[in-house]
Structure 1
Amino acid sequence: MISTIVWGTGNVGRLAIRAVDAHPALELTAVIVHNPEKVGRDAGDLGGLDRELGIEATADIDAVLAAAPQAVVYAASGDIRPDDALADIARAIRAGAVVVTPALYALYDPVNAPPEMRETVLDAIKDGGGSLFVSGVDPGWGNDVLPLLVSGLGSTVDVVRCQEIFDYSTYDQPDSVRYLVGMGQPMDYEPPMLAATVPTMVWGGQVRLMARALGVELDEVRETLDRRPLEETVTTTTMGDFEKGTQGAVRFEVQGIVDGEARIVIEHVTRIHPSCAPDWPTPPDGVGAHRVIIEGRPRIEVSVEASDEGGNRSAGGNATAVGRLVGAIDWLVEADPGLYDALDVPIRPAIGKLGRKRS
């Protein structure tokens, strides 16, 4: 069994605890938390399981890493603390661990990552012999291996488009929804997530990785943004009212430009209510989906609808992303130390998981 720790127990960490516990090759040996109120709580409780795992959460990073875990799922946020996240991850690699994480956007495509970030990771690998694989929770596979796989089914390819389409009305994350994305804010409010260059910072690496896999040179990476106001006040079950005239829908694209045309596109369409921007793309059931569209001969469209935690689509998407990361651990442990990306790390069948339940 591969000794594995989960570092951070928010939305991603909660799912990671469950994924590690369910994986037949992994053994959850520690959980690191930052919130003092979580110290001492059982990992099963923090993971939303219906049983205890006999592992108490700790804030003692030194002690956990001193035990030389073979793998670390780094689930702490890197959104507003990228330097701290990089330092934590380098520390775990120096301890000899394989690290998987969604926290470092720039390393979705390590080849084009900032040199100083690459060097920090490569130095840690040289010193400690660990490895790193970064993949997104949006989910990463929806913006790299799935579109690349589907692109190989056509005789010609004109555009590769990856869509995330979601209704946020049941998404219980008011800070992210209202302030980071700007739902329910006046139309002159500038949401941090939509500020110029931020979408490219987050998703540009995946566009570049796909371009590299497809063997094309990008002229540049562009962004587009459209926002729509609510025509009526709406009430959500989890976050209360969103007033008429405030932002009710957002649509943006991160475009890889080839010979002057947008050929590789990651698109997000987000609403707080289905009535807003009904002319924009909608998911099959009106709730949420990830979609890949290959424009070419033939035209190919694949939609993925994942749900978890009582049917929650956002949790389902996150769970598949976490499954991709946790499922890579045993492959990485067997591979040479290194900095890996989605083109290196295969998605494999659920070996040993079919019908398996943990005691």
Structure 2
Amino acid sequence: MIPTVVWGTGNVGRAAIRAVAAHPMLSLVAVLVSSPAKVGKDAGDLGELGRHLGVAATDDVDAVLSTAPRAVVYAASGDVRPDGAIEDIGRALRTGAVVVTPSLYGMYDPTNAPAEIRDVLLASVEAGGGSLFVSGVDPGWANDVLPVLISGLGSDIDAVRCQEIFDYSTYDQEEAVRHLIGMGHPLDYEPLMLAEGIPTMIWGGQLRMMARALGAQLDGIEETLERRPLETTVVTDTMGEFPAGTQGAVRLEVRGVVEGEPRIVIEHVTRIHPGCAPDWPTPPGGGAGAHRVIIEGRPRIEVTVEATDEGENRAAGGNATAVGRLVNAIDWLVEAGPGLYDALDVPLRPAVGRLGKK
């Protein structure tokens, strides 16, 4: 068994607890939290498993890392505290742990990562013998291994498009939805996630990875952005009121240009209510979210994936699949040895030993 720590218990961390508990080769040995209200709570309760796991949450990072766990699922946010996330992950790497995380956008593609991030983490790997695999919570697999895999089913390829279509009305992450993405703010408010250059910082690494896998050379990366106001006031159970006239939907594209044309595109269509921007792409059947890959070429191939989880928090399904990709990579990473890994290095892992098990 691989002793594994889950660090953080938000939308990602809850799913991580469940994924580690289900994995036959992993043993959950600690859960790290930042909220005093969660200290002492059983991991099974925090992970909404419906049973106790016998692991009490703690905020004592030093004590947990002093045990030199073999793996750490780092689920704490890096959106508004990237320096803190880098410091935390570096500490875990220096203990020799395998670290998997969605929290560092800049490390989706370690080959082309900013030196100020890559060099710090590589030094931690070299100092402690750990390893790092970063894959997005969007989820990452929908913007890297899935399109690359599907591309191998075709002959001629004109373009690759990855879509995330997301309804935030049941989501429980108000800070990100309101302030980072801008839902409920006036349209003249510039949220950080939509500022020029930020989408490229977040998803550019995945474009570069796909281009590398397809043997293509990017001429550059372009961004497009559309925003729509709410026509009526919306009230959500998890985040409260979003007034009419404020931002209700966003559509952005990050486009990898090959030979003068946008050939590799990551598109995000997000809403706070399904009635906003109904002419934009929607999930099939009116669900909370979907991830779609479209290969334009011969043949034209379209694959749509929907995932649901956590009952009323239907949008958490995407988080759960992102976490599954990361947690299921841990045993492979342990065998692979120290280093910085990306989605093209780490194979998709089957759920061995879990069919029919709860």
TM-score range, shorter chain: over 0.9
Deviations 1:269-299 (A, max 9, x none): 0122222222211111222111000111111
| Aligned partners of 1:167 and 1:286 also within 8 Å | no
Q: Which amino acid aligns with 2:294?
A: I
Judged with a 3 Å threshold, the aligned counterparts in structure 2 of structure 1 residues 254 and 237 are, in CA distance, closer, same or farther, namely: same
Distance in 2 between residues matched to 1:233 and 1:31, nearest whole Å: 39
Judged with a 3 Å threshold, the aligned counterparts in structure 2 of structure 1 residues 311 and 240 are, in CA distance, closer, same or farther, namely: closer
Structure 2, unaligned runs of 5 or more:
none
Cα distance, 1:221 vs structure 2: 1.1
Cα distance, 1:39 vs structure 2: 1.5
Match of 2:51, SS?
A: coil
Match of 2:204, SS?
A: helix
| Aligned partners of 2:12 and 2:319 also within 8 Å | yes
| Matched ranges for 1:272-283 at <5 A | 272-283=272-283
Residue 83 of structure 2 is aligned to residue 83 of structure 1: yes
| Aligned partners of 2:234 and 2:243 also within 8 Å | yes
Match of 1:313, SS?
A: coil
CA RMSD of aligned residues (A): 1.3
2:97 aligns with 97
1:300 aligns with 301
| Aligned partners of 2:170 and 2:314 also within 8 Å | no
Cα distance, 1:244 vs structure 2: 2.4
Moved more, 287-296 or 176-185: 176-185
1:144 aligns with 144
2:35 aligns with 35
Cα distance, 1:105 vs structure 2: 0.7
Cα distance, 1:236 vs structure 2: 3.4
2:347 aligns with 346
Judged with a 3 Å threshold, the aligned counterparts in structure 2 of structure 1 residues 234 and 119 are, in CA distance, closer, same or farther, namely: closer
Distance in 2 between residues matched to 1:116 and 1:193, nearest whole Å: 21
Distance in 2 between residues matched to 1:240 and 1:121, nearest whole Å: 39
Match of 2:63, SS?
A: helix
1:124 aligns with 124
1:252 aligns with 252
Judged with a 3 Å threshold, the aligned counterparts in structure 2 of structure 1 residues 154 and 21 are, in CA distance, closer, same or farther, namely: same
Distance in 2 between residues matched to 1:193 and 1:130, nearest whole Å: 31
1:16 aligns with 16
Give the share of equivalent positions with the same residue, in percent: 74
Distance in 2 between residues matched to 1:188 and 1:282, nearest whole Å: 25
TM-score by length of 2: 0.96
| Aligned partners of 2:186 and 2:247 also within 8 Å | yes
Distance in 2 between residues matched to 1:66 and 1:167, nearest whole Å: 41
| Aligned partners of 1:74 and 1:99 also within 8 Å | yes
| Matched ranges for 1:309-348 at <5 A | 309-310=310-311, 312-348=313-349
Structure 1, unaligned runs of 5 or more:
none
Deviations 1:121-145 (A, max 9, x none): 2211211111110000100000000
Give the count of matched residue pairs: 357
Cα distance, 1:311 vs structure 2: 5.7
Match of 1:146, SS?
A: helix
Moved more, 251-260 or 186-195: 186-195
Deviations 1:240-278 (A, max 9, x none): 443322212110001111111111111000122222222
